[in-house]
């Protein structure tokens, strides 16, 4: 599984990254967590509000900092 955090690196993006890392750790699953900070790349995803979260290339959330539990729910599906 590939999890991407889309955002230019503001505190909200960092918090979302931390929450994603915690979710992956708690679920004890194999996942690669990456960051997309380039505005052009973020726009390619159609994201207009950051931070956003993409799982395996599909944006599942934008404009909010999902909690660890919310992320766990999404990536457990």
Partner 1 sequence: MAQNNCMCQEAGVLIFPCSGGSDVGELSDRVARKMAKCGQAKMFCLAGIGAHIPGMIESAKAANKLITIDGCQALCSKKILEHAGFTPISFNLKDLGFEKDKTKVDDDTIEKAATKISGGKSEEIISRNTGGCCGN
Q: Which positions lie near partner 1, rule CB under 8 A?
A: 7-10, 12-13, 37, 39, 42, 45-52, 54, 58-64
Determine which one of 2, 8, 9, 10 is catalytic: 10
Report the residue number, 9 or 34, with the smaller CB distance to partner 1: 9
DSSP state of 56: T
Which pair of structure tokens corresponds to residue 36?
Answer: 């997309």
DSSP state of 46: T
Determine which one of 3, 5, 6, 13 is catalytic: 13
Give the phi and the psi of residue 24 in degrees, each rounded to 5.
-65, -40
10 is catalytic: yes
β-bridge mates for residue 33, sequence order: 3
56 is catalytic: no
- Beta-sheet pairing, 32-36 with 52-55: unpaired
Report the residue number, 30 or 77, with the smaller CB distance to partner 1: 77
Residues annotated as catalytic are 10, 13
């Amino acid at each position: 599984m590939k999890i991407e955090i889309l955002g230019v690196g503001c505190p909200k993006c960092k918090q979302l990254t931390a929450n994603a890392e915690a979710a992956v750790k708690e679920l004890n699953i194999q996942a690669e967590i990456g960051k997309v900070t380039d505005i052009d790349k973020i726009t390619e995803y159609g994201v207009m509000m950051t931070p956003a979260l993409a799982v395996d290339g599909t944006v599942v959330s934008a404009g909010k900092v999902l909690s660890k539990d919310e992320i766990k729910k999404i990536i457990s599906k």
